[in-house]
Amino acid sequence: MCGRVLIGENKDIIITGRDGRQFTPKPNSSGNPGSMLPVVTDAMPGKVQQFRWGLLTIDDDKIHSKHKHARVENLHNVGLWRQLLGKKHCVIRIQAFFEYNKLQEKLYRIERADGKPFYIAGLWDIWIDIQTNVLLPTFAMITLPPNRAMSEIHDRMPAILERSQIKTWLNQSLSGPERGAFLRDNPCLSEVLKITVEKDHKKEN
C-alpha cells in the first residue's frame, strides 16, 4: 500500500529544519518508507518540516520502517495509534503515489486530475536515539478502504484530504472519535484521481 511516492517540485514551500534554518526541498525526488517527506504538524501548523516515513516510538530500540501505514479502522483499538490519536496529527504533502498490482503485474501512478499536490492525513511522533541522543521526527500515513477507482487496482488508499480540510485534521480540539469519523465521512472521490500505468518499471515485491 503506497510504498513509493513522488514528492514533486514543491517550489511554493520552504522547509523549516529543527535548528530553525530554512531551505527548499529537492525537486521531483521520490520517496520510500525511510525517506524524509514534507510534513505539517498540529504542533507547528504554520511551518513545513521534514519527517521520516515510518513511525518510531520511545519503545523502539532501533530504526525500522514497519509502522508506515495506520488503518483508519484500527485507530482506536491498536495501542500505538490510540496513544497518538487526538494528540499528534500531521499532513503529508506529495505529488503522486504508486501502487503495484501483482495480479495484473502493472505499476500504477496515482495523482490528482487537476495536477495539484496530495495532502494525506497522518500521525507523528519524535523518536530519541538513546545512543546518540539525536531526535528523529517520524510519521505514519493513515489509510482507508478504496474508492471506486482505486478498488480496481488495490484494496487500500491513503486518507487524502482536500486543502480546505487540513485545518480540521490539525485542529487540536477535535477528539479521537471525531477524527476517525471525519476521515471516514470525507473519502476522496474517484473523479479527483488520475490513474495511469507506468510503462517502464522494475517488478516490485
CB 72, CB 180: distance < 8 Å:
yes
Domains of the chain, start order: 4-198 (3.90.1680.10)
Global pTM? 0.88
Query: 70 in the Ramachandran plot: left (φ > 0), alpha (ψ -120 to 50) or beta?
Result: beta
Q: Which of 20-29, 49-58, 127-136, 141-150 has the lowest mean pLDDT?
A: 20-29
Please report, to the nearest 10 degrees, the dihedral formed by the alpha carbons of residues 146, 150, 156, 160 taken in order. -70
Q: What pLDDT is attached to residue 205?
A: 43
Q: Which amino acid is at 95?
A: Q
Per-residue pLDDT tens digits for 52-82: 999 998 788 888 878 999 999 999 998 899 9
pLDDT mean over 131-153: 92
Q: How many residues does the chain have?
A: 205
Question: Would you place residue 18 in the very low, low, confident or very high pLDDT band (cuts 50, 70, 90)?
Answer: low
What is the number of alpha carbons within 13 Å of residue 80 lying toward its C-beta? 22
Alpha-carbon span 153 to 138, nearest angstrom:
28
| Res. 99: pLDDT tops 90 | yes
Distance between first and last Cα of the chain: 12
Question: Would you place residue 162 in the very low, low, confident or very high pLDDT band (cuts 50, 70, 90)?
Answer: very high
pLDDT mean over 85-107: 94
Q: Which of 5-9, 93-97, 103-107 has the lowest mean pLDDT?
A: 5-9
